[in-house]
Structure 1
Amino acid sequence: MSQQPGSNVYAFTHSEAVLRTHQWRTVKNSAAYLLPYLQPNMTILDVGCGPGTLTTDLARHVPDGHVTGIETTDAPLGEARKFAEQAGVKNVSFTEGDVLNLENYKDDTFDVVHAHQVLQHVPDPVKALSEMRRVTKKGGIVAARESADMTWYPRLKEMDAFFDVYIKVAKGKGGNPNPGSYIHVWAQEAGFARDDITCTAGTWCFSAPEDRQYWGGAFSERVVSPGYVENAVNGGHCKKEDLERISEGWKEWVRSKDGWFTVTHGEIVCRK
């Protein structure tokens, strides 16, 4: 399916540095809240699958079922297919698709429809959840996890500037950055009863040297990648020189033996 105009307001692009951070994601570190609900024969739709590591890992947990990963652009899907093939996981497939218009799927198709850090990057998250609900079977679940906040140490001014610019770029593109604390409200607006929504929270924490190098190293590249520079500078949110200073700030954070960065997430499981 071709991307619909305005359906994706992602502040970053599918650059190598962005894909590198997404490739780190697994069920254990990014969807553990979903594990108690999974059964071996389930069919799952993974919305906004990116490079497919989380999607492929979900497939491992439903060996007698099938997982379909969709993304608004074909850019990361080659890597996703390659990863699944190398991992020897066969019950997974990847295709282009738009969460705001899941026209290729009939009502009541999937046991689980899952999205990880996707709703914040679409202009109408309630419509997205409504579409996710529509294609979920009666008795099935819609699951979503979204960042709610970011905190870090040391409090470098360049890191503060990163967060400020990140929020401005995301909002300028039409996104809803860090909505984890109120995604359950969106779910109610999408048609779920409050009593059918289970809310939990999860975190990522990067403090060990190798974790700082992975996280901070990737972001030092992400903030100066051409696509992000274009969004930030052309959007009037900062100058290119500001992004270069922010990149250096990330590198300084990586070098700090006391460096610490955490992302808090809100998680919802919605029963249809």
Structure 2
Amino acid sequence: MAYIAGHTPAVLKGHAARTAEDCAAYLLRHIKPDNYILDIGCGPGTITLGFAKRVPEGRVVGIDISPELMAKDTQEAQEQGIGNVTYQVGDIFHLPFSDATFDITHCHQVLCHLTDPKAAMKEMIRVTQPGGIVAAREAIFESMMIYPSTPALDAWKNKLQQMHLAKGQHPDAGKTLHHWALQLGIKPERIRSSAGNFCYSGREQREWWGSVWEERSISKEGEDSMVGPGIATKEEHSEISQEWKRWQGKEEAWFGMMHGEVLVWV
């Protein structure tokens, strides 16, 4: 299993801005001080640390496929003096834990990158205790809104979706989380769905968001993922990067995207 965006500085720049408050608000009120939590696809570990601070009597485990990231996350937790969190390399399809281990099993922006998200959800359910919670928050790419829009940015939205679909992934996973849970045999009364949003406006936010995608677009990994399979030409890819740079300088610039959220009581 591989993460097609890679763990480039630009990708990690975007992921490191995520917090438990911003990305897991739908889950936070269900967390108890003594919970044992698994955070899957934890990346830079910022959400993971947010969970750890909320379970002073419990523990948190963060897993990701990158050994380098897990080493960095471990160092960051030590530097912050957070001792109830550990990190290890792991694969969502083969979680290295026994059945019914965790009170809460969580992922954010992971299932949309998989070819078999239901198998991943089934594995999340397996490692969660009876009465525990499986939580997922996933993007809905088709909901992306960019203002002011341009032909290059419209092309970026379309090509980003094409890139994921070409690999058999699910760029609109957020709107099917409830359905997948039902297909896995979860009773309707044990599923709670909601939605949240990313929104970037104002100078600081638009410059940060625009720079993330400007940098991702000019990276080798970004080019390979679109130019390699023929989704975009080198010229189109270069223009997308330049358009994100121009977008940052527009005072009226605004970006929004909806996410689907689900809580499943096992």
Residues 1:268 and 2:262 are matched in the alignment: yes
2:118 to 113, 116, 126: 126
Aligned counterpart, 2:41: 48
Aligned counterpart, 1:221: 215
Residues 1:16 and 2:3 are matched in the alignment: no
Q: Give me the whole-angstrom Cα distance separating, in 1, the residues matched to 2:66 and 2:168.
A: 18
Q: CA deviation at 1:253?
A: 1.1
Q: CA deviation at 1:82?
A: 2.6
Q: CA deviation at 1:193?
A: 1.4
Q: Give me the whole-angstrom Cα distance separating, in 1, the residues matched to 2:188 and 2:259.
A: 19
Q: Which runs of 5+ in 1 are unaligned?
A: 1-6
Q: CA deviation at 1:96?
A: 0.8
SS of structure 1 residue aligned to 2:71: helix
Map residues 1-272 of structure 1 onto 2, 5 A cutoff: 7-8=1-2, 10-102=3-95, 104-148=96-140, 149-272=143-266
Q: Give me the whole-angstrom Cα distance separating, in 2, the residues matched to 1:253 and 1:78.
A: 35
% identical aligned pairs: 39
SS of structure 1 residue aligned to 2:139: strand
SS of structure 2 residue aligned to 1:37: coil
Deviations 1:201-233, CA, capped at 9 Å, x for gaps: 111110010001111101100112111211211
Q: Give me the whole-angstrom Cα distance separating, in 2, the residues matched to 1:153 and 1:247.
A: 16
The 8 Å contact of residues 130 and 191 in structure 1, kept in 2 or not, is answered as no
Q: CA deviation at 1:240?
A: 1.8
Q: Give me the whole-angstrom Cα distance separating, in 2, the residues matched to 1:243 and 1:92.
A: 40
The 8 Å contact of residues 207 and 259 in structure 1, kept in 2 or not, is answered as yes
SS of structure 1 residue aligned to 2:83: coil
How many residue pairs align between the two structures? 264
Letter in 1 for 2:213: F
Q: CA deviation at 1:87?
A: 2.2
Deviations 1:6-27, CA, capped at 9 Å, x for gaps: x33x331110000010000111
CA RMSD of aligned residues (A): 1.1
Q: CA deviation at 1:75?
A: 3.5
Q: Give me the whole-angstrom Cα distance separating, in 2, the residues matched to 1:78 and 1:20.
A: 17
Q: Give me the whole-angstrom Cα distance separating, in 1, the residues matched to 2:49 and 2:22.
A: 14
Q: CA deviation at 1:173?
A: 2.2
Q: CA deviation at 1:83?
A: 2.4
User: Runs ≥4 in structure 1, deviation > 3 angstroms?
Assistant: none
Letter in 1 for 2:206: R
Q: What's the TM-score once normalised by structure 1's chain length?
A: 0.94
Q: Give me the whole-angstrom Cα distance separating, in 1, the residues matched to 2:60 and 2:170.
A: 27
Q: Give me the whole-angstrom Cα distance separating, in 2, the residues matched to 1:94 and 1:38.
A: 20
Letter in 2 for 1:117: Q
Q: Give me the whole-angstrom Cα distance separating, in 2, the residues matched to 1:82 and 1:260.
A: 36
SS of structure 2 residue aligned to 1:82: helix
SS of structure 1 residue aligned to 2:164: helix
Q: Give me the whole-angstrom Cα distance separating, in 2, the residues matched to 1:243 and 1:28.
A: 34
Deviations 1:5-52, CA, capped at 9 Å, x for gaps: xx33x3311100000100001111110110110000000110100111
Letter in 1 for 2:4: A
The 8 Å contact of residues 11 and 173 in structure 1, kept in 2 or not, is answered as no
Aligned counterpart, 1:3: none
The 8 Å contact of residues 223 and 246 in structure 1, kept in 2 or not, is answered as yes
